[in-house]
Protein backbone atom coordinates (compact mmCIF):
# COMPACT_ATOMS: atom_id res chain seq x y z
CA UNK A 1 0.00 0.00 0.00
CA UNK A 2 1.19 3.52 -0.66
CA UNK A 3 2.76 5.12 2.39
CA UNK A 4 0.33 8.08 2.20
CA UNK A 5 -2.60 5.68 2.57
CA UNK A 6 -0.86 3.69 5.26
CA UNK A 7 -0.12 6.64 7.51
CA UNK A 8 -3.54 8.32 7.09
CA UNK A 9 -5.78 8.09 10.12
CA UNK A 10 -8.46 10.18 11.76
CA UNK A 11 -6.94 11.71 14.91
CA UNK A 12 -8.71 13.50 17.73
CA UNK A 13 -5.65 15.08 19.36
CA UNK A 14 -4.43 18.08 17.41
CA UNK A 15 -1.51 20.42 17.92
CA UNK A 16 -2.38 24.13 18.22
CA UNK A 17 -0.09 24.79 15.22
CA UNK A 18 -2.24 26.54 12.60
CA UNK A 19 -2.55 25.10 9.11
CA UNK A 20 -0.48 27.28 6.79
CA UNK A 21 -2.69 29.00 4.17
CA UNK A 22 -0.38 27.79 1.34
CA UNK A 23 -0.81 24.18 2.51
CA UNK A 24 -4.55 24.62 2.90
CA UNK A 25 -4.68 25.87 -0.66
CA UNK A 26 -2.88 22.70 -1.80
CA UNK A 27 -5.50 20.58 -0.06
CA UNK A 28 -8.35 22.36 -1.82
CA UNK A 29 -6.44 22.20 -5.08
CA UNK A 30 -6.14 18.41 -4.71
CA UNK A 31 -9.87 18.21 -3.96
CA UNK A 32 -10.67 20.33 -7.02
CA UNK A 33 -8.95 17.84 -9.34
CA UNK A 34 -11.06 14.85 -8.29
CA UNK A 35 -13.19 13.06 -10.86
CA UNK A 36 -16.92 13.80 -10.88
CA UNK A 37 -20.04 12.76 -12.75
CA UNK A 38 -20.28 14.94 -15.93
CA UNK A 39 -17.38 16.92 -14.45
CA UNK A 40 -20.00 18.86 -12.48
CA UNK A 41 -17.68 19.22 -9.46
CA UNK A 42 -20.60 19.28 -6.99
CA UNK A 43 -18.31 19.76 -3.97
CA UNK A 44 -18.31 22.97 -1.96
CA UNK A 45 -16.42 23.74 1.26
CA UNK A 46 -16.92 26.19 4.11
CA UNK A 47 -14.02 26.45 6.53
CA UNK A 48 -12.72 28.58 9.39
CA UNK A 49 -9.52 28.63 11.44
CA UNK A 50 -9.76 28.34 15.22
CA UNK A 51 -8.19 31.73 15.84
CA UNK A 52 -11.09 33.31 13.93
CA UNK A 53 -13.45 32.68 16.83
CA UNK A 54 -16.64 34.02 15.31
CA UNK A 55 -16.51 31.95 12.13
CA UNK A 56 -15.04 28.87 13.84
CA UNK A 57 -17.79 28.91 16.46
CA UNK A 58 -20.51 29.13 13.84
CA UNK A 59 -19.24 25.83 12.43
CA UNK A 60 -18.42 24.36 15.85
CA UNK A 61 -21.98 25.00 17.04
CA UNK A 62 -23.28 22.52 14.42
CA UNK A 63 -21.38 19.57 15.96
CA UNK A 64 -22.84 17.04 18.39
CA UNK A 65 -21.42 17.31 21.91
CA UNK A 66 -19.29 14.17 21.61
CA UNK A 67 -17.41 15.68 18.69
CA UNK A 68 -17.20 19.12 20.31
CA UNK A 69 -15.20 17.49 23.14
CA UNK A 70 -12.16 17.06 20.92
CA UNK A 71 -12.82 19.38 17.97
CA UNK A 72 -12.40 22.37 20.29
CA UNK A 73 -8.62 21.87 19.97
CA UNK A 74 -8.53 21.45 16.18
CA UNK A 75 -6.95 24.38 14.31
CA UNK A 76 -9.32 24.20 11.35
CA UNK A 77 -12.93 23.15 10.93
CA UNK A 78 -14.85 22.69 7.72
CA UNK A 79 -18.21 21.64 6.31
CA UNK A 80 -18.41 19.81 2.98
CA UNK A 81 -21.45 20.50 0.86
CA UNK A 82 -22.95 18.79 -2.18
CA UNK A 83 -24.86 20.45 -4.99
CA UNK A 84 -27.76 18.04 -5.51
CA UNK A 85 -28.75 19.06 -9.04
CA UNK A 86 -26.88 18.85 -12.35
CA UNK A 87 -26.20 22.30 -13.80
CA UNK A 88 -26.29 20.89 -17.35
CA UNK A 89 -29.87 19.56 -17.28
CA UNK A 90 -31.43 20.49 -13.92
CA UNK A 91 -31.94 16.82 -12.98
CA UNK A 92 -31.02 15.34 -9.56
CA UNK A 93 -27.35 14.34 -9.33
CA UNK A 94 -27.49 10.92 -7.71
CA UNK A 95 -23.70 10.83 -7.47
CA UNK A 96 -23.12 14.21 -5.86
CA UNK A 97 -22.23 12.77 -2.44
CA UNK A 98 -20.04 10.14 -4.06
CA UNK A 99 -18.12 12.93 -5.79
CA UNK A 100 -17.77 14.98 -2.59
CA UNK A 101 -16.27 11.81 -1.09
CA UNK A 102 -13.81 11.56 -3.97
CA UNK A 103 -12.78 15.17 -3.47
CA UNK A 104 -12.28 14.49 0.23
CA UNK A 105 -10.19 11.42 -0.63
CA UNK A 106 -7.86 13.66 -2.62
CA UNK A 107 -7.91 16.30 0.12
CA UNK A 108 -7.03 13.73 2.77
CA UNK A 109 -4.14 12.14 0.88
CA UNK A 110 -2.71 15.54 -0.04
CA UNK A 111 -2.90 16.30 3.69
CA UNK A 112 -0.94 13.09 4.39
CA UNK A 113 1.71 14.22 1.93
CA UNK A 114 2.07 17.52 3.81
CA UNK A 115 2.22 15.99 7.30
CA UNK A 116 -1.37 17.05 8.06
CA UNK A 117 -4.26 14.93 9.32
CA UNK A 118 -7.97 15.04 8.56
CA UNK A 119 -10.92 13.76 10.59
CA UNK A 120 -14.32 13.63 8.92
CA UNK A 121 -17.54 13.64 10.94
CA UNK A 122 -21.20 12.75 10.45
CA UNK A 123 -21.97 13.85 14.01
CA UNK A 124 -23.44 17.27 13.37
CA UNK A 125 -26.83 18.85 12.75
CA UNK A 126 -27.53 19.38 9.05
CA UNK A 127 -30.37 21.77 9.89
CA UNK A 128 -28.08 23.89 12.05
CA UNK A 129 -25.41 23.86 9.35
CA UNK A 130 -27.91 25.03 6.72
CA UNK A 131 -29.09 27.82 9.00
CA UNK A 132 -25.82 28.90 10.65
CA UNK A 133 -23.85 28.92 7.42
CA UNK A 134 -26.52 30.19 5.06
CA UNK A 135 -26.57 27.33 2.54
CA UNK A 136 -28.66 28.14 -0.53
CA UNK A 137 -31.49 25.81 -1.65
CA UNK A 138 -30.23 22.77 -3.56
CA UNK A 139 -27.03 22.45 -1.52
CA UNK A 140 -26.78 19.73 1.14
CA UNK A 141 -24.40 19.50 4.10
CA UNK A 142 -22.39 16.25 3.78
CA UNK A 143 -19.76 16.06 6.52
CA UNK A 144 -17.80 18.18 8.94
CA UNK A 145 -14.02 17.90 8.89
CA UNK A 146 -11.08 18.86 11.07
CA UNK A 147 -7.60 19.48 9.66
CA UNK A 148 -4.34 19.95 11.51
CA UNK A 149 -1.07 18.57 12.83
CA UNK A 150 -0.96 15.77 15.40
CA UNK A 151 -0.95 16.80 19.05
CA UNK A 152 -0.53 15.22 22.45
CA UNK A 153 -3.24 12.68 23.29
CA UNK A 154 -2.89 13.75 26.95
CA UNK A 155 -5.13 16.72 26.10
CA UNK A 156 -8.08 14.36 25.47
CA UNK A 157 -10.57 13.15 28.07
CA UNK A 158 -9.80 9.58 29.18
CA UNK A 159 -12.82 8.24 27.26
CA UNK A 160 -11.31 9.38 23.96
CA UNK A 161 -7.66 8.66 24.69
CA UNK A 162 -7.98 4.91 24.27
CA UNK A 163 -9.35 5.14 20.75
CA UNK A 164 -6.26 7.09 19.65
CA UNK A 165 -3.89 4.23 20.41
CA UNK A 166 -6.20 1.24 19.82
CA UNK A 167 -5.28 -1.01 16.88
CA UNK A 168 -7.14 -0.06 13.69
CA UNK A 169 -9.13 -2.76 11.95
CA UNK A 170 -10.78 -3.41 8.60
CA UNK A 171 -13.12 -6.03 7.13
CA UNK A 172 -11.44 -8.78 5.15
CA UNK A 173 -11.20 -8.23 1.38
CA UNK A 174 -13.30 -11.36 0.79
CA UNK A 175 -16.21 -9.72 2.57
CA UNK A 176 -15.96 -6.66 0.34
CA UNK A 177 -14.95 -7.88 -3.10
CA UNK A 178 -16.92 -10.29 -5.29
CA UNK A 179 -15.93 -11.61 -8.68
CA UNK A 180 -18.48 -11.43 -11.52
CA UNK A 181 -21.62 -11.43 -9.39
CA UNK A 182 -22.69 -10.90 -5.80
CA UNK A 183 -21.66 -13.70 -3.48
CA UNK A 184 -18.78 -15.22 -5.45
CA UNK A 185 -15.31 -15.14 -3.92
CA UNK A 186 -13.00 -12.37 -5.05
CA UNK A 187 -10.39 -14.72 -6.53
CA UNK A 188 -7.68 -12.38 -5.27
CA UNK A 189 -4.43 -13.92 -4.05
CA UNK A 190 -4.31 -14.43 -0.27
C1 LIG B 1 -18.38 10.16 6.74
C2 LIG B 1 -17.65 9.92 8.04
C3 LIG B 1 -18.26 10.26 9.23
C4 LIG B 1 -17.58 10.12 10.44
N5 LIG B 1 -18.16 10.60 11.60
C6 LIG B 1 -17.41 10.69 12.73
C7 LIG B 1 -17.88 11.40 13.87
O8 LIG B 1 -18.97 11.99 13.88
N9 LIG B 1 -17.09 11.42 14.98
C10 LIG B 1 -15.87 10.82 15.02
O11 LIG B 1 -15.19 10.91 16.05
N12 LIG B 1 -15.38 10.16 13.94
C13 LIG B 1 -16.11 10.09 12.79
N14 LIG B 1 -15.60 9.47 11.66
C15 LIG B 1 -14.26 8.84 11.70
C16 LIG B 1 -14.37 7.32 11.63
O17 LIG B 1 -14.81 6.83 12.86
C18 LIG B 1 -13.02 6.74 11.22
O19 LIG B 1 -12.71 7.16 9.91
C20 LIG B 1 -13.01 5.23 11.28
O21 LIG B 1 -13.16 4.78 12.60
C22 LIG B 1 -11.74 4.64 10.72
O23 LIG B 1 -10.62 5.17 11.37
P24 LIG B 1 -9.44 5.85 10.56
O25 LIG B 1 -10.04 6.98 9.73
O26 LIG B 1 -8.48 6.36 11.59
O27 LIG B 1 -8.85 4.81 9.66
C28 LIG B 1 -16.27 9.56 10.45
C29 LIG B 1 -15.67 9.21 9.24
C30 LIG B 1 -16.33 9.39 8.04
C31 LIG B 1 -15.62 9.05 6.75
pTM for the model stands at 0.97
Ligand 1 environment, Cβ below 6 A: 9-10, 67, 120-123, 143, 168
Question: For the segment 24-67, what is each residue's pLDDT rounded down to a tens digit?
Answer: 999 999 999 999 999 999 999 999 999 999 999 999 999 999 99
Tell me the C-alpha distance between 96 and 147, whole Å. Answer: 23
pLDDT of residue 39: 98
The burial class, CB within 10 Å (0-12 / 13-18 / 19+), for 134 is exposed
Q: What is the mean pLDDT of the chain?
A: 97
Tell me the C-alpha distance between 32 and 46, whole Å. Answer: 14
- Asked whether residue 122 carries a pLDDT value surpassing 90, the answer given is yes
pLDDT of residue 190: 86
- The residue nearest atom 5 of ligand 1, judged by CA position, is 121
Tell me the C-alpha distance between 64 and 74, whole Å. Answer: 15
CB 114 within 8 A of CB 4: no
Question: For the segment 77-96, what is each residue's pLDDT rounded down to a tens digit?
Answer: 999 999 999 999 999 999 99
What is the set of domains in the chain, with CATH numbers?
3-153 (3.40.109.10)
Tell me the C-alpha distance between 54 and 61, whole Å. Answer: 11
Amino acid sequence: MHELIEKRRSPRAYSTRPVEPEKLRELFEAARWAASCFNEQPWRFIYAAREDKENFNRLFDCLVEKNQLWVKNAPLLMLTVACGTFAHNGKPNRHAWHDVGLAMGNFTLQASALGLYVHQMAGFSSDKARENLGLPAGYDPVAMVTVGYLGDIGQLPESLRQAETAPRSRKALDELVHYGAWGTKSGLPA
